[in-house]
Amino acid sequence: RRQAAAVSKSLDRALGHQPDPRLHFAQPARYRARLPLLVPTERNDTLMFLVRRLLPGLTGWLAARHAGVDRFELVLEHEGRHPLTRLQIICAAPCRDEAAFALLLDEHLGRQAFPGPVDALAIEADNPVELAPLATDLFDDSGLQRESAQLLLARLRARLGDEAIRAVSPLADHRPERAWHPVAPGKPQAPVELVDAPRPLWLLAAPKLLTHPERLRLVDGPERIESGWWDDHDVRRDYFVALTHEGGRWWIFRELEPPRDWYLHGFFA
């Protein structure tokens, strides 16, 4: 009655009163290339030489689709009944650069222990992502710099592990030791209003008791911080910027509670 043509047509197709043609199912794009070895080996240099023979096929498959991948797998088949070894190669961003793939594979193979000699290799990749060309000036190399930084991040992850690479993000907390937290590099963060007061780049893991605070010269402060009563980490401190006889610039504080000791909490220089 309200001329809902779209609803009427949907009901007619569901009831079979109108044709309802369907698109053919298209399988997700997936790449796999396998290379058997004439002689089983555990040598990293030999394996890397053979892996390089598989990479042109992967990059060519991606180039034909104008796409890249942010991860792929190297599968190692071992002699005997040993289970497969699967190395997941994670890139910092989708790409199809053969040299970058080779660098990451070299890092993974260099720290991998094999349960037995390898007698076949395979590379598997799926979910290609369309790569848009970078729009830059003729002599602009900023895109190259970004790619180099992403490749460095991917190599560090491959060498040290994902948990070893972290960035620092601020938190909305006045307590210096609670005003930051580690995050994954490149992860977008909610904006935080930062304190408009001096903060050292190097913050100690725990404040260090000062035995001779009278030897320091106070040049800025006090900045009072009282916070944390709700989570059993209550702080009541007066912070100062102090200079040492050697020219060092320190961030120190004095407890407001007895015995009102002085502590070193960070270094400006």
pLDDT at 125: 93
- Separation CA 19–CA 27 (nearest Å): 25
pLDDT at 193: 76
pTM for the complete prediction?
A: 0.53
Name 223's bridge partners. 239
- What amino acid occupies position 50? L
pLDDT at 141: 55
Beta strands per DSSP E along 109-216: 118-126, 129-130, 167-170, 180-183, 202-209
Residues lower than pLDDT 70 in the chain: 1, 132-151, 186-187
pLDDT at 143: 52
Q: State how far Cα 25 lies from the chain centre.
A: 35
Which residue, chain included where needed, has tokens 């509670």?
Answer: 257
pLDDT at 108: 85
Residues of 76-97 as b/e, b for ≥16 C-beta within 10 angstroms? bbbeeeeeebeeebebbbbbbe
Which residue in 170, 179, 173, 176 sits closest to 237, CA to CA?
176
Cβ atoms of residues 260 and 254 within 8 Å: yes
pLDDT at 114: 84
Within 13 A of 16's CA, how many CA atoms are on the CB side?
0
